[in-house]
Structure 1
Amino acid sequence: MSKKSIPRRLADNEAIAKAINLRVSPRKLGLIAGLIRGKTCEQALADLQFSRRRIAHDVKKVLQSAIANAENNHQLDVDKLFVAEVSVGRGLVMRRWHARGRGRSAGIEKPFSNLRLIVREREAKARTEGKAKAKDETAGKRAGAGKRKERS
């Protein structure tokens, strides 16, 4: 008896990269994750390059790994990639103690984080068709916007 095979969680137009036990709190890593979520990979790399946060360098390496996975393992077009999902999880917590006055001690927690980053290839056709439909709908609404009903 063998283990059941786990179904593939990624679509054909996605690639993933992970970083485990990054030495930063999940709250601080979440700030960087929110900075790049939904952006094109090119724009996200530029934002991480000029970010003043220490952990931005590690997040940039994970993003570059995801781009390389997309190109080499899944044969996706690098120019069409965008950051689809960035999830931050809590890793282990390293506990230390600090001596205080009167023989007491205070605990110090040093948290670690896990990062999971998914890049997806953007579909050009579906996006342009959707924009064209949206423009037609808004144009129809705006045409009737100039008319006012007279009150009697």
Structure 2
Amino acid sequence: MDVITTQKYVRLSPKKLRIVADVVRKLTPVDALEKLPFLRKNGSETFVKVIKNSLSSARQKGLSDTELIFKEVQIGEGPRLKRGRAASRGRWHPYKKRMSHIRVVLTTRKSEIRNPKSETEKVKGMEIIKTDEKENKEKMVDKKEDMGTVKKTTKNLKSKLQSVISKKGAKNKSI
């Protein structure tokens, strides 16, 4: 189950927030809450608020904090405020105060593990075949290659037989 949290119009530039996001992606949400206050970056306080918000919404859905991991952490650009600084001779030097949108998606660890629905599974012309039920060994067999080798061997045998027959016939005629 996924829990999606967004925080829009954060008054920090996306460039500064992406540095913190790279650190957060590698951690679990609980570990991130422990380590972010000690990270000396501007966006760490904002990320703490967003992660707390997403954890509380996950608890509302009945998920425990220890099972959650980050599926996605996105930093998007928001609108820019155009401001300026007065310069000499009545001029104006513009600069932009950038805003960001933060999107955090949490998911459970169990949903990351893929469970096959049936014993045979087709993947691009491949089929998994159970070879031994006691040992539960599986063998990958390529259907196309097997059919191709069978066809090639039968064609080769036919051509060899025809060439042998024609050679014997040619020898008998020359005698």
Deviation at 1:125, TM superposition (A): 9.5
Paired with 1:49 and 1:122, the residues of 2 have a C-alpha distance of: 25
Percent identity of equivalent pairs: 29
Where in structure 2 are the equivalents of 1:48-87 lying within 5 Å? 48-72=36-60, 74-87=61-74
Where in structure 2 are the equivalents of 1:72-151 lying within 5 Å? 72=60, 74-123=61-110, 126=113
- Which SS does the other structure have where 1:52 is aligned? coil
Q: How many residues are paired up?
A: 114
Show CA shifts across 1:45-92 (max 9, x none): 1221211112211111100111111111x2112111111110000111
Runs of 4+ in 1 over 6 A off after TM superposition: none
- Structure of higher CA gyration radius: 2
TM-score by length of 2: 0.61
- Which SS does the other structure have where 2:16 is aligned? helix
In terms of fraction of residues, the more strand-rich structure is 2
Query: Is residue 69–residue 108 contact of structure 2 (8 Å, CA) maintained in 1?
Result: yes
Show CA shifts across 1:99-122 (max 9, x none): 111221110210010000011111
TM-score by length of 1: 0.70
Higher relative contact order (CA 8 A, sep 6+): 1
82-91 or 45-54, which moves further after superposition? 45-54
Paired with 1:19 and 1:28, the residues of 2 have a C-alpha distance of: 15
Unpaired stretches in structure 2, ≥5 consecutive residues: 115-175
